[in-house]
Structure 1
């Protein structure tokens, strides 16, 4: 399984990647939504995208919208991981096509639990 971690903070990308790798994910990183789209447009297949909301160039909501407009990427699971905690923001992200929403700060268990809900991580990885 391959995950694309999209966040303008290099530290946060490393934290998220470090949470995903023990769960069996190979990780790629992008500093903004445009860079992430470039990776997908190059033909790189990913199973999961973990997306920050607030980024320069292209924000997370615009990235989610762009991915959902392209039939080729329908199989990509989209999970927002962001500090945006207002209910209206969560609703907007889910309405745009995000599958799950995690509010920063988060624990590795919170990420694993969401991935289990999405069927991307089995129960054996939680032991």
Structure 2
């Protein structure tokens, strides 16, 4: 069973995403910001994918992405942003930093799960 770390500072969104992913057969972990997420990753929790908001207090999704990609033990984990952020320069910077996909809220469920499946399939190839 694949584990997805859901990172969002709004607990209602985090809970909804975790429940939605669990209905699709994934195991989930939740974190309220990048600091909490990175702590979970650093504790050797088995995580196959990180699904993160971009705009969060304490540690943004972009800061979390940079920390993950800078850590050789974690760099292989695909990261997807699920966010309302729309600035093209932020999207470009995230892509250059190693982001797998950028999904805008509100999202299309089919496209959302297709991106998650693609990210997990890519990870298996590595």
TM-score by length of 1: 0.88
Q: Confirm whether residue 49 of structure 1 aligns to residue 68 of structure 2.
A: no
Q: Which residue of 2 aligns with 1:68?
A: 69
Q: How many residues in Structure 1 have an aligned counterpart in Structure 2?
A: 121
Report SS of the residue matched to 2:9: coil
Partners of 1:110 and 1:10 in 2: CA distance: 23
Report SS of the residue matched to 2:90: helix
Partners of 1:96 and 1:31 in 2: CA distance: 22
What's the offset of the Cα at 1:119?
4.5
Report SS of the residue matched to 1:71: coil
Q: Which residue of 2 aligns with 1:5?
A: 6
Partners of 1:49 and 1:38 in 2: CA distance: 13
TM-score by length of 2: 0.88
Residue segments in structure 1 that go unaligned for 5+ positions in a row = 121-127
Q: Which residue of 2 aligns with 1:100?
A: 101
Partners of 2:19 and 2:112 in 1: CA distance: 11
* 61-70 or 17-26, which deviates more: 17-26
Partners of 2:60 and 2:94 in 1: CA distance: 11
Would you say the 8 A contact 1:19–1:108 is kept in 2? Answer: no
Partners of 1:52 and 1:85 in 2: CA distance: 12
